[in-house]
Each structure stands twice: as C-alpha cells, then as structure tokens.
C-alpha cells in the first residue's frame, strides 16, 4: 500500500464500505477528476480571476 514506516491516509465511506487510500492515491484521484471536468487545459482559473480584477481596476 506504500505506507512503509507510516504515512498519511485518507478514509472515506462508500455505502457500507470503508475505503482507505494513501495521500498520493487521493491526490492522483482528485487530479483525474479535475482533468475530466477541465480537460487538459494548463490555464489556471486563479490567473483568469487575477486578470479580470486587473481589467476592472484599470477601468476605475
């Protein structure tokens, strides 16, 4: 499981099942879900928000 000598785990209930994942597996799963939603875009939403705020500030 990749926990030689300890490590952080994520536990979640799935119906009546208890699932235990390593932190690395949890991050990989979250990234896969984000890729499904956002595609392979490398553009950060935070960069888009900052650019929008700068445009608003320039108009004032």
pLDDT value for 52: 92
pLDDT value for 47: 84
Residue 27 CA to residue 8 CA, distance in Å, equals: 12
pLDDT value for 1: 63
Q: Where are the domains of the chain?
A: 9-59
Write out pLDDT tens, residues 3-57.
Answer: 677 788 999 999 999 999 999 999 999 989 988 887 777 677 788 889 999 999 9
pLDDT value for 34: 84
Helix, coil or strand: residue 19: strand
Query: Does the pLDDT at position 60 exceed 90?
Result: no
Q: What pairs with residue 22 in β-bridges? A: 9
Considering Cα of 47, then 52, then 53, then 58, what sign does the dihedral take?
A: positive
């Amino acid at each position: 499981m990749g926990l030689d000598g300890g490590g952080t785990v994520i536990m979640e209930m799935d119906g009546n099942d208890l699932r235990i994942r390593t932190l690395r597996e949890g991050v990989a799963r979250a990234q896969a879900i984000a890729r499904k939603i956002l595609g392979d875009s490398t553009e950060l939403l935070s960069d888009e928000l900052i650019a929008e705020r700068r445009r608003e500030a320039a108009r004032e």
